[in-house]
Amino acid sequence: MTIEYHHECCFSSEQSDLQNQVRRKYKYLGRVQGVGFRATVNELAQSFAIHGWVKNCEDGSVECVVEGALPDIRAFDQVVRDSRADYVHDVQTMKEPWSGDLSGFKIKF
């Protein structure tokens, strides 16, 4: 007697989409406060399929948290770096667990 086992994909397209979602926290260092950095980041974010926020930190840096598909997040980060290269001296990137609790993109105060 021969037993055959067939494994088929068990994810719906919605489940598959959720598996591709990631969360990143960026800390932009340099002359990033008082130069329109948050407004620029907020405006740039509108062109990407991402959710998140950007805010000033007490230490003079700017923090940005985004969720979305990794290619979108990477492209967004690169556009931010390229558009504000004269102001950003370093960027710290941290991976965080995707939460799905973000909607739209906003400036936090």
What positions carry a catalytic annotation? 38, 56
With 0-12 / 13-18 / 19 or more C-beta atoms within 10 angstroms meaning exposed / middle / buried, residue 79 is middle
CA-to-CA separations, 96 to 8, 15, 21, 23, in angstroms, rounded: 30, 19, 11, 5
Q: Rounded CA gap, 107 and 89, in Å?
A: 21
Order the strands of the 88-96 sheet from edge to edge. 88-96, 21-30, 62-69, 50-56, 105-107
Q: Which two tokens stand for residue 5?
A: 């086992």
